[in-house]
Amino acid sequence: MSKPGPGPQAEVQAQPPQFQYVDRPDVAETFADHVRMMTFDGQTLRIEFCVSRVDQPSPQGPPTGKRYPSCRLVLSTGATLELMNQLQRITASLVQQGVLKAEPPKPAN
């Protein structure tokens, strides 16, 4: 007795969905000038972005300031991989433009 083959339903499920991008101009931008923390727990990447604020200058000591969290971003594993790929492309472009200098790989000890 032979097993029945996968039906048309199985073929449809094997294909990833095709998503259409829909812009939402009402989504606010968040500024950050510092990445305080990044952790990956095997499922999600958590990134905490901060903004720096300088205190009033004081003649009695060095400049001081505070950093405040401005965004806590949590990405799925798939989004983390997409972010890494995009960053690699941007890095390659900046190296090509001469903005960044590529360092040769360090030899293994």
Report pLDDT for 107: 84
Q: Is residue 48 in some structural domain?
A: yes
Position 38 in a domain:
yes
Dump pLDDT digits (tens) for 73-107: 999 999 999 999 999 999 999 999 999 998 888 88
Dist CA 75 CA 43 (whole Å): 9
Does a structural domain hold residue 42?
yes
Domain count, the chain: 1
Indicate whether 1 belongs to any domain.
Answer: no
Task: Determine, yes or no, domain membership for 10.
Answer: no
Residue 85 lies in a domain: yes
CATH number of 45's domain: 2.30.31
> Nearest 5 degrees, angle CA 80-CA 86-CA 87?
90
Q: Write the single-letter amino acid at 26.
A: D
